Amino acid sequence: MDLAYDGSEGMRHSTEKWLAVVLLGAAPLAGQTTLRQAAAARAIPIGAAASADEYGPPDMLQDPTYANLLSSQYSMLEPGNAMKWDVTQPTQTTYNFQPGDELVAFAQANGMRVRGHNLCWYTQFPSWLAPYAATATPAEMATLLQNHITAEVTHFKGRVFAWDVVNEAFNDPTGSAVPGLRDSIWYDQPGIGLTGTGYIAQAFQWAHAADPNALLFYNDYNIEEPGPKFTAVLNMVQDFVTNGVPIDGVGFEMHVMNSYYPSAAELTQNLQALAALGIQVHITEMDDRLLLDSNGDASAADLQAQAQVYQTVLTTCLQQPNCTAFQVWGVSDAVSWIPGAFPGYGAALPFDVNYQPKPAFSSLMTAMETTAPALNGSYVVNAASYQGGAVAPGEIVTIFGANYGPANLAGAQLDASGMFPTNVGGAQVLFDGVPSPMVYALVNQVSAIVPFEVAGKQQTVIQYQYNDGNGNVVSNTATVPVTASAPAIFSLNASGSGPGAILNADYSLNSASNPVAANGAILIFGTGGGAIVGSATDGALAPGAGSLVTQPVTATIGGVAANVLYAGPAPGLVNGVIQVNLSIPAGLAAGPQPVVITVGTASSQKGITAVVQ
Ligand code: XIL
C-alpha cells in the first residue's frame, strides 16, 4: 500500500514507533469550536479563497475581522485573484508576485497551506495579452506560457503545495454530447501549437519541471455530477494517466445553487471514478448562491436549505478517501464574488456579511464531527513490518486512513493496574466487540494490539471508534481475516526493513559499530507471534520468561538455521510483543546478515539485518 496516499502531515511512522510513544501523556479530549479545529481531527485542509491588495487598497489582510476569521476558521487559503495572469504578469516583460507573496506569508505565519490558482486560463488577462495573442505565432505563445508557468511555479516553489495548472478548459455541453475544448489563446487562438488536450498536458509538464513536489490539478465547474462535461474531463485524465502526464488531482469548483447541486450519490460516483485512476479531488471553490430580497437578504428557509447543501457536500467528501481538501470561495459574504457575477444573488458562504457564522457553518461543523471515519481493512498493517494481510492474536497493528481522530498524537499510558488502556485520545479499536489495548492514536494513524480472543477465528470485525469529547461518538467497521501468526521484526528505521531493533547478549544495540560476536547470541523483538500460552491477557505486561508462543519457532541468520535459545513473551513489554533469542551459527561472513523468524508456517518480513563480527 502507499502509506502517503492521503497527502496529510499525519504520516509520522518514523517517530511514532509504538515503543517510543508509550511514555507520552495522553492528549486530553478537547471539544472543537472552529472549522479549522474540526478539520484538523479529520486531517483534511479546510480553505477559503483570499485577497490581499492585488487590485489596490484596501489590503484585506490588514482588516482584523477578515484576517482573524481567515486564520481561525481555515487551515488553507487560495488567492482568489493574486496568482492569476492579470496580477502576476502586468506587462509582457515583468512579473508581480508581491500580492501572492503577502498571502503566502500570511498563511505561513498562521500555519496554513496554500493552493495556487491558476497558471493557464482563458480569461482574466492583463490588458496587453489579448492584443499580443492576436498577432503572435504558436511558437511565441508556447514560449510565453512556458516562461510564465516556470517563473510563477519556481517563485512559489515549496510554499504552494498544490496548483490549479489549467482552469476551465472545456466548453459547457449542449445536450448530451461530450463537449470539446473551449476556445482560448492557449488552445486555438492561436494556441501553443499542440492539438487537442496537448496544450493542457504541456502546461502540466512545465509546472512539474518547475516544482516536482507540488500537486498538480485540473480545475473546472459543473463537473461535480455525472454528465457530458465530467466525461470529457475524465477522458482527458484517463489519457494523462495512461501517458504519464504528471496530474495529481481534479478540482471540483462547486459553485452551486439550492436549486442545483450534485446529490451525494452523484458526487460519490464522480469521486470514485477519479479514485479508480489514482486521482485526488479537491473541492476548490464552493459557494451556494441564494436569491436576495429587496433588502439584500436571503430567506431563513433558503439559509437552512443551504446548510443542508454544504453538509451533503462535505459529508460526501469525508466519506471518499481521495477527496483531500475542502475549500469555499471567499472568507465571508462581505467579500464574495457572487453579487458581482450573479446580480440578485448572494449569501453564498458559511459566514455572513458581518463575518458571523450562518446555519451553513453549523452544518459544516456537524459534517466534520459526525461523519463516520473511513476504514479499509487493507490499510490494517503490522506495526513492525507495515505489511498487511491477516491479523494474528497479540499482533500490534497500525491502522492507516481512519480519517477521524486526535489531531495531535495521543500515546498510551499504563493504568493503575499496569494495563495498556483501551482508549487513547478518544480513539478505540474493537475486534468483534472486544476493546483492544491501544498504543497510540492520531487521525489517520492508529496503533492497537489485536486481542487474544481472535485466536482460532477465520475473520474478525474491526471497529474503529472516535469520541471527540463534544458528545459525538462515531465509528466504522471493516472485516479482516485472522491467521494463527504473522511474525514481524521491529526495525530501527521507519520502513519496516533495514537494521533490526536487535540487541546483543549484553543488551547493547546491535549495529555496524557493535556487531555480535561470531559465537554470540542476539535478542530479536517482534510482533505477530500469535497466542501465548498461559499469559494471554490483553494489554497486560508480559509476566516474565517461561510461557511460550503456541506454535514452534525457528529462525535463520544469513540463510543458515540458527539455534533458538528462547521464544516467548518479552519480559517487561506488553503481551503480544515476542522475543526470540538466537545463537549465531558458525561460519557466517562478517557484516549485515538477513534475519528471519518463523512462527508455525509464517515468516517475518524480508530485509531485516543483524550485524555479525
Ligand atoms: C473569480 C474571482 O472570485 C473574482 O474576483 C474575479 O473577478 C473573477 O474570478 N472560477 C474560478 C475562479 O476558477 O478563478 C473565479 O474567481 C470564479 C470562477
- Name the nearest CA neighbour of 167 among 55, 84, 267, 277: 84
pLDDT at 25 over 60: no
Contact 129, 84 (CB under 8 A): no
- State whether the beta carbon of 468 lies less than 6 angstroms from ligand 1: no
Which atom of ligand 1 is nearest the CA belonging to 84? 14
- Pocket-testing residue among 53, 77, 81, 85, ligand 1, by greatest number of atoms within 8 A of Cβ: 81
| Average pLDDT value for residue range 87-116 | 98
User: Which cell numbers in the block locate residue 312?
Assistant: 451533503
The model's pLDDT over 593-605, given as tens digits with 9 standing for 90+, comes to: 999 999 999 999 9
The per-residue pLDDT for 606 is 96
Contact 43, 6 (CB under 8 A): yes
Contact 181, 229 (CB under 8 A): no
What HEC string does 254-322 produce? CEEECCECCCHHHHHHHHHHHHCCCCEEEEEEEEEEEECCCCCCCCHHHHHHHHHHHHHHHHHHHHCCC
**Distance from C-alpha of 603 to C-alpha of 606, rounded to nearest angstrom:** 9
The per-residue pLDDT for 30 is 53
pLDDT at 309 over 70: yes
At 496 the three-state DSSP class reads coil
Q: Which of 116-130, 460-474, 537-551 has the lowest mean pLDDT?
A: 537-551
**Distance from C-alpha of 238 to C-alpha of 584, rounded to nearest angstrom:** 54
Which atom of ligand 1 is nearest the CA belonging to 164? 13
Cis peptide bond N-terminal to 190, omega within 30: yes
Kindly give the pairing relationship between strand 345-346 and strand 280-291.
antiparallel
The model's pLDDT over 347-358, given as tens digits with 9 standing for 90+, comes to: 999 999 999 999
What is the residue with the minimal CA distance to atom 7 of ligand 1?
Answer: 337
Q: Which helix (H) or strand (E) holds 39?
A: helix 35-40
pTM of the full structure: 0.93
**CA 132 / ligand 1 centre spacing (Å):** 23
**CA 253 / ligand 1 centre spacing (Å):** 10
What is the residue with the minimal CA distance to atom 5 of ligand 1?
Answer: 337
The backbone torsions φ and ψ at residue 602, rounded to the nearest 5 degrees and listed phi first, read -100, 140
The model's pLDDT over 396-437, given as tens digits with 9 standing for 90+, comes to: 999 999 999 999 999 999 999 999 999 999 999 999 999 999
The model's pLDDT over 492-529, given as tens digits with 9 standing for 90+, comes to: 988 899 999 999 999 999 999 999 999 999 999 999 99
- Name the nearest CA neighbour of 452 among 420, 417, 478, 474: 420
**CA 133 / ligand 1 centre spacing (Å):** 22
User: Catalytic site residues?
Assistant: 168, 285
In percent, how much of the chain has pLDDT > 90?
A: 91
**CA 78 / ligand 1 centre spacing (Å):** 11
What is the residue with the minimal CA distance to atom 4 of ligand 1?
Answer: 337
The model's pLDDT over 367-394, given as tens digits with 9 standing for 90+, comes to: 999 999 999 999 999 999 999 999 999 9
- State whether the beta carbon of 352 lies less than 6 angstroms from ligand 1: no
Q: pLDDT-based confidence at 572, cuts 50/70/90?
A: confident
**CA 284 / ligand 1 centre spacing (Å):** 11
User: Which cell numbers in the block locate residue 137?
Assistant: 505565432
The per-residue pLDDT for 36 is 98
The model's pLDDT over 434-466, given as tens digits with 9 standing for 90+, comes to: 999 999 999 999 999 999 999 999 999 999 999
Count of Cβ atoms closer than 10 Å to residue 71 Cβ: 19
Give 166: exposed, middle or buried? Use CB within 10 Å, 0-12, 13-18, 19+: buried
- Pocket-testing residue among 60, 120, 124, 220, ligand 1, by greatest number of atoms within 8 A of Cβ: 124
What is the residue with the minimal CA distance to atom 14 of ligand 1?
Answer: 80
The per-residue pLDDT for 501 is 96
- Name the nearest CA neighbour of 360 among 313, 291, 292, 295: 313
- State whether the beta carbon of 336 lies less than 6 angstroms from ligand 1: no
**CA 358 / ligand 1 centre spacing (Å):** 23
Torsion of CA 97, 102, 103, 105, to 10 degrees: 120
The per-residue pLDDT for 548 is 82
Which atom of ligand 1 is nearest the CA belonging to 121? 13
At 197 the three-state DSSP class reads coil
**CA 473 / ligand 1 centre spacing (Å):** 39
Q: Which helix (H) or strand (E) holds 113?
A: strand 113-120
Which atom of ligand 1 is nearest the CA belonging to 118? 14
**Distance from C-alpha of 280 to C-alpha of 539, rounded to nearest angstrom:** 38
- State whether the beta carbon of 167 lies less than 6 angstroms from ligand 1: yes
The per-residue pLDDT for 13 is 37
Instruction: Name beta bridge partners: 522.
Output: 504, 582
**CA 476 / ligand 1 centre spacing (Å):** 38
What HEC string does 358-379 produce? CHHHHHHHHHHHHCCCCCCHHH
Which atom of ligand 1 is nearest the CA belonging to 168? 13
pLDDT at 29 over 70: no
- State whether the beta carbon of 211 lies less than 6 angstroms from ligand 1: no
What is the residue with the minimal CA distance to atom 3 of ligand 1?
Answer: 337
The model's pLDDT over 188-201, given as tens digits with 9 standing for 90+, comes to: 999 999 999 999 99
